[in-house]
Amino acid sequence: MDPQDACRIAIIGLGKVARDRHVDAISRAPGARLAATADPQASLPGIPAFPSLEALLASGTGFDAVALCTPPAIRTRLAAAALAAGKHVLLEKPPGATVAEVTALTHLAHRQHRTLYATWHSRHAPAVEPARARLATRRIRAIRIDWKEDVRHWHPGQDWIWEPGGFGVFDPGINALSILTRILPRPVFVTDAELLLPANRATPIAAHLRFTDTEGLDGRAAFDWRPTGPEDWTIRIETDEGPLAIERGGRRLLEGGLLLLDQPKAEYPAIYSRFTALAGQGASEVDLAPLALVADTFLLSRRHTVEAFH
């Protein structure tokens, strides 16, 4: 593709995920080009930089789309402003703080004839689609999810994740739920939940869920941000044709203990390839199933206070 025809993307919010994932992914995705950034405290060498989306829009800088990498609690206002200005919008996960606000954005994108893309990067992991194909014709009896990582490693100094709308342990936990809702042939729903909240924080540091479907699936998930040793991102599935396991967040796929696949993940370039394709078609893609499961968890949960987290 001629670089002049590439989708010109501005990154809004130049924090850890933007620097670690989005900048490189845009450079590697055919049909995408980084045109600008907007962040009050950060910039990139050689890229036009602005302190805010409003300043970027007022500058006259040419761009076609925004990638919103800010905390979810402020994302809806920014997405609405970008859509109103005629820009396509990519939402880093989770797409917003509530189901209702993302639904409203979907309607706005339709009225503006612009693309709204709610990304679920873990769905692009290499084991996800092969697992989905295998499960399409099997009877699924039970699912166990273990998603445990060290919050200090992945979110150093990020206090926003502990505030209302910051999701707490569901910031990574929703990755597991995004894989789950992609690979299963039927929708699932939460039946019981327990949230563990540090005494000095507003969002959970750990959670335990039970979920099912209309055929009585036995589903359980454990999310935990406290481990400081080996981390675990595993989904184990019992079927009428034997066990299936997705390991390392979607990098590995095992069937009956036999390793079928172990590949490096390239999730974010795949996200941008999908986004530019959608923008070229003027189409949107907003699947709220993972976010709805988190919202329902908060509705149904029993809350327990645990020791303060610092």
Domains of the chain: 3-121+267-285 (3.40.50.720), 123-263+295-306 (3.30.360.10)
- For residue 205, the Cα-to-chain-centroid distance in whole angstroms is 18
Q: What is the mean pLDDT of residues 62-77?
A: 96
pLDDT band at residue 1 using 50, 70 and 90 as cut-offs? very low
Number of alpha carbons in the 13 Å side-chain half-sphere of residue 186? 15
What is the rounded average pLDDT of the residues 201-228? 97
Q: What pLDDT shows up at residue 4?
A: 56
pLDDT score of 3: 46
Region 129-152: mean pLDDT is: 97
pTM above 0.75, yes or no: yes
List, in sequence order, every residue forming a beta bridge with 219; answer none if it has no partner: 143, 211
> Is residue 272 over pLDDT 80?
yes
Which pLDDT score is estimated for 120? Answer: 98
Could you tell me the two tokens for 158?
Answer: 């990020």
Residue 3 burial (CB count, 10 A): 8
Query: Over pLDDT 70: what percentage of the chain?
Result: 99
pLDDT at 5: 75
Q: How far apart are CA 28 and CA 252, in angstroms?
A: 23
pLDDT at 145: 98
Mean pLDDT for all residues in the chain: 96
Active-site amino acid positions: 93
